[in-house]
Every structure is written in structure tokens, then in C-alpha cells.
Structure 1
Amino acid sequence: MSTELTPIEEARRDVVLGNHILAMEGVLDVFGHVSVRHPERPDRFFLSRSTSPAQVTDETLLEFDLDGKIVSGDGHPYLERFIHSEIYRARPDVGSVIHHHAPAVLPFAVTGVPLRPVFHMGAVAGEISPIWDSQDDFGDTSMLVFNQPMGASLAKCLGPHPTALLKRHGAICVGESVPRAVHVTVCMRDNAQLLMQSLAMGEVDYLSPGEVEKSAKVNGYGRPLERAWSHWVRRCG
């Protein structure tokens, strides 16, 4: 009997694994979430009901449309599902969206110090992470992205980039697949840690734009990505 997964089964498996991997890596804790675009319905995506990432299972997954409405499954959804729905609407190339509050990244969301690559793997997260400030369009809020206009504003700030910072809140990372988005997220966290340490020591030597472009292509796809994903899946056991 064949054990090969269907595209939908594979996508659902990967989004569960992505949550568990990022919880194991300490990028996600009680909060944060990972989604995956439906492989056969680009106008839909899978995202867990409201639960901590380490507790996500296939049974907790809900199916949403691009208005953030549940079309399949039961349970209370994340308030911030509009981060995912509006990025999928704006970016047809994106197959997975991650929202996190990694402690190493947060200083760059509250100081305005640019988050730029300082080592080769940092290039995977992009040349710079643009900063979205909810105050600009919405004034005082709960800081959560809880409706379509806020999600659309955030998606516009993200633009073509693989990452963006939410001022005084956290970050988003995207990729063509869950493994790619997870890789971007871990590399963003690692680069932020290294940059923060380097800034404390003195002048920082950032990667040039050309180095970012070439390093991201070499280290962010193909065998390096497969190697990283295999390692994380094995560690999750």
C-alpha cells in the first residue's frame, strides 16, 4: 500500500511541523502562528485554531478563505488570521506565512535600528526588514492585526520582501513553502542575535547588496534548505 501523501496532506503535515519546529527553536512560545496556502485552492489557506504552536495538530487546523472566514473545521480562530489572509491576497508567490515575537528580533521592532544581514545565512531573510507601524494608519490599537484593513496595510509594507517588522510588536516571515518560511524565520532570528551582539562591540560590517542577493540564492534554496528542514524535522522526532 502506498504511503505517499497527497498535496493537501503534505501541506497540512508541514504546517504542523513548522509550528513545532519554531516552538522547539524558541522562536514561537505561547503565541505566534504558522499558515500554509491550500495547494489546490490558492484562495484558501490552513491555519490552526487558537492554540499554542507546540500544541498544533492536524485536528486543530482550520481552512480559511482570503477574507479570513472559516470554510472548514471547528474552533476559535486566531484574531490575527488577517495577517495571513491579506498577505496571501497580495502575494501570489507566497505559500506560507509566519508571525512571531522572537526575543532577539524585538529590539529592532522597538528601536528603529535597521535589521540588515551581517553574515551569509542572514541574507536568507532579505537585505532589510521594512517596519510597519500600526499608528500610521490606525492610531492607538491593541497592537493586534485583527481586521482586513490592518492586514492589508501590513501586506503593503511587506511588499516583495521575505520579512517585515511590526513596530512594538513582532515580525512576519514568508516563503514559497513552509520549509522555506521556517528557514527564513530561523535565519532572521540568528542574524538579529548576531547583529545585536555586534552593535555592542562597535562598527558593524554589513553584507553588500550583491552579497545579500548571491548568498540568499545559494543558502536559501535547494540542498541547503532541504538539509535544514530535514535536520529540524529529525530533532522534532
Structure 2
Amino acid sequence: MVTANHTHLLATYITALHILQFHGILDGYGHMSLRNPENHSTFFMFHTVSPALVSSLADIALYHVSDAEPTTPDGPRGFIERFIHSEILKRYPGINVVLHGHADILVSYSISSVPLRAAIHMAGYLGGATPIFDITRYYLPNETQDLLVRTPRLGAALADEFSPNNNGECEDHDLPDHDLVLMQSHGFTSCGVELEKVVYQAVYAKTNALVQAEALQRRHDAYNGPAVALEGEGDGGKDKDGIVYLTPRQAQDTWATMRRDVSRPWGLWKRQVQVDPLYVNELES
């Protein structure tokens, strides 16, 4: 049950949904969840309309992390892919926010041989090559293959992709190795500890993807041939695909700097949706 005690928190949650739609991160099918700070075994998620149109407590329900079922017998079952959220929150106790969207430019990297990598200082958290979750590896015979994460088993497989080098040995780790995973031919999922930082990560993941794509296109035009991404770094600070990416140290240090204060862009983004009549947030005081 959603109570008045959560009004401030959920007002910020609604604002975050609006910001993500404004920036083209969430379309009509995207969704985001928020762990209940008063009971970590449950999480909030909207269950009606599209992210842009979420406006009140009536649009939000509470679910169990254990099975993604509503906490009340008559509660809404929510979206098919609610298992994305429950399984990541279950797998990583330190994670409080899970975001799933279908931004076009990010989807393009999920079906390309060119890995999404940190190319700008605003997106240092991406680090090296971003993992790609290929759901086809996990389908059972006669299972619906619509690319949706519609079962706890598929949600758990996606959650594991956030720490792909641990071979299932980090069950007691609170946080994943990666903040963002691409989903082949589908979209992406991102997660984090704080709501505002997850919004920041999503917005700048898209910006990074656009900058990287533009640089690859310029390289292609300059050399009149396809740019093929290869592992490792080349001479002069450039990767073998001819693009300069952040070094591991740069990625680490830039994210350490940027994550200290995301209030500046958040304040701008919040104002943008406040003055746009499309977005209504009845919980704002």
C-alpha cells in the first residue's frame, strides 16, 4: 500500500519519470522502480499509463522483491517485465533504483560489433565495453521468444550480466560491477543507489552513445571504410577503431568527481518538466 509517508520520495520519483521521458530515455513502454526505504523487501513501481503521464499515488503500487507480486491481494500485477526490477533488487541489496528503457541510440549498440564505451567525461561510469544481455541464450524449448523479461529466471539471468566476470560467485556483493547493461535488440537496463544519479547516468549514457556514434561516422567518412571496433588501445591514445576513449583511470576519476553533485543538471531537468504542461505531478508541494 502506498501511504502519505512516502509522498516526498514518490514526488521525486514521478519527477524522475518525467525527466527521463523528456530526454528520450523512457518511451511509452519504459519503466523504473524504487526500493522502499522503510522495508527493503518491497519496491515501488508505477503500473498505469506511460512514464510521462504518471501523476499521483494512484499510479504507483508496492511489490515484493522476492517474487514481483503486489503486496496486497487486490493490488495490480503491473508490467510483464517487473521481474527485471525484482531480480536486480534481490541480487544486489545495495541497489535501490532500477531503470529499463529503449532509447534508440542505445539499442543500436546492442546489435553492433562496436561496444559502447566511455568517450566523454560525463559518462566515466560506463568504463570499458558495456555488457550486452542476449536473452536468446536463456530460452527454454517452446518458451515465448518476444525478448521480454517475463519470468524470474530471465530476470535473474539479466541481473547476473551486471557482474559478468564473477561467474555467479558474488551472491553476497551489495553492488554490481556495471551500472548499465544493454539488452540485445531490445533496450537497456540501468541501476544505482540514488534516484537522481540513475537519472544522470541514463541521460549521459545516451549523450555518450550519440557522441561515440558521431565520432565513428566521421572516422568512417574520413577513411572511406567501415570502422571496426577491436579490443585494446592503439598509439596516440586512440583505440584501434580510431576513436579516443577514456582510459580506465580517467573513467574512474571522472565518475568520482561527477557523482559528488548531480544537483545542477537535476535542478535544470526538474524545471524543464515543471513548466511543460504535458507533465503533471500532484505530489509536489
Greater RCO, 1 or 2 (C-alpha within 8 Å, sep 6+)? 2
Taking a change above 3 Å as real, the CA distance of residues 230 and 188 of structure 1, as seen in their structure-2 partners, is same
Alignment root-mean-square deviation, CA: 1.6
What letter matches 2:37 in structure 1?
P
Q: Shift of residue 74 of structure 1?
A: 3.9
Of 42, 45, 48, the residue aligned with 2:43 is: 45
- The corresponding residue for 2:15 is 17
What letter matches 2:214 in structure 1?
Q
- The corresponding residue for 1:151 is 155
Task: Find the residue that maps to 1:173 and give its secondary structure.
Answer: strand
The answer on 1:63 being equivalent to 2:100 is no
Of 214, 227, 236, the residue aligned with 2:264 is: 227
Deviations 1:1-23 (A, max 9, x none): xxxx95x3333122211111111
The answer on 1:215 being equivalent to 2:254 is yes
Mean Cα deviation higher: 133-142 or 43-52 = 133-142
2:35–2:43 Cα contact (<8 Å) kept: yes
1:43–1:65 Cα contact (<8 Å) kept: yes
| Whole-angstrom CA distance in 1 between matches of 2:36 and 2:154 | 23
Task: Find the residue that maps to 2:104 and give its secondary structure.
Answer: coil
Task: Find the residue that maps to 1:46 and give its secondary structure.
Answer: strand
| Whole-angstrom CA distance in 1 between matches of 2:20 and 2:184 | 21
Q: Which has the higher helix share?
A: 1
| Whole-angstrom CA distance in 1 between matches of 2:97 and 2:202 | 11
Larger Rg: 1 or 2?
Answer: 2
Within-5 A mapping of 1:94-109: 94-109=95-110
1:62–1:74 Cα contact (<8 Å) kept: yes
TM-score scaled by length of structure 2? 0.77
Q: Shift of residue 210 of structure 1?
A: 0.4
- The corresponding residue for 2:33 is 35
| Whole-angstrom CA distance in 1 between matches of 2:113 and 2:82 | 26
Question: For structure 2, which runs of at least 5 residues remain unmatched after alignment?
Answer: 164-175, 220-241, 275-285
Percentage of matched positions with identical amino acids: 29
| Whole-angstrom CA distance in 1 between matches of 2:8 and 2:35 | 12
Taking a change above 3 Å as real, the CA distance of residues 222 and 169 of structure 1, as seen in their structure-2 partners, is same
1:125–1:187 Cα contact (<8 Å) kept: no
The answer on 1:175 being equivalent to 2:192 is yes
Moved over 4 A (4+): none
What letter matches 1:191 in structure 2?
N
